Amino acid sequence: MMRPTLVRRREIWFPTIWGWFTLLVIGAVVIMQVGGRLHSFLALNEPVGARVLVVEGWMTPEGLDQAAATFHAGGYERIVTTGGPIERWPGDHGHATAAERAADYLKRRGLADTSVTVVRAPASAQDRTFLNAVMVREWAKQSELAFDALDVFSSGTHARRSRLLYRLAFGSDFKVGVWAARSSDYDPDSWWRTSIGAKDVLSQAIGLLWVKCFFWPPPPGSHEERWGWTGEEDRGIRK
């Protein structure tokens, strides 16, 4: 009869000092390779040649200027500004939402009134980009334009996440492209050398990972999908 044993001695391999040094060097090289490409991965430029350009209204004036240039250069027929209630910019004209503020800014930069559509969203403390996408989808159903594709203009490293959320809102039968505004706050090729660059890239990378792993869009048209929407926002959809 075998006697039961509670413990057993085993031999394990453990790195030496030089082994740890080698592992650290390899890890540093991998991090540098991945990190060097992380910004370009997030700040994606991949338009689909749509006629409609959706501009996220919360962007800075610098980003909106780039959006206006893209609208002219890309031959778009309509530009749609999105966004919910905001804190006012210094010297702001009293706009209630980011969508209205961005539209007014673009018009003052030369865009024709007839080419700009405001699609405002209700107040939300979460999933704001997805909620904006839902409101754009609802506008598209009412629009006189018949289209099955759009391009989203977002702020730098937020671009890939915006495209993903718009795709989730519109469904697989609708084509969604994206443009990323260039940032002058840091060098995208060495973003880790500044605190603002590291904060921007890493926070957006975490945000994208969260959407991919933990965000499940509610059924289209459900109350959960538009939990802050009351119907009054339809009055805020204007040309």
pLDDT mean for each 10 residues of the chain (239 residues):
72 82 72 75 95 96 96 94 80 79 94 93 84 94 88 97 96 96 92 92 95 90 68 47
* Cβ atoms < 10 Å from Cβ of 25: 10
Q: Which residues pair with 150 in a beta bridge?
A: 176
161-181 residue pLDDT tens? 999 999 999 999 999 999 999
Greatest CA separation found in the chain?
Answer: 93
d(CA 183, CA 194): 13
The arrangement of secondary structure in 42-227, i.e. its CATH architecture, is: 3-Layer(aba) Sandwich (3.40)
Q: What does the H/E/C string look like for 119-169?
A: EECCCCCCCHHHHHHHHHHHHHHHCCCCCCEEEEEEEHHHHHHHHHHHHHH
The domain limits of the chain are 42-227
Residue (of 151, 211, 140, 203) closest to 178 by Cα position: 151
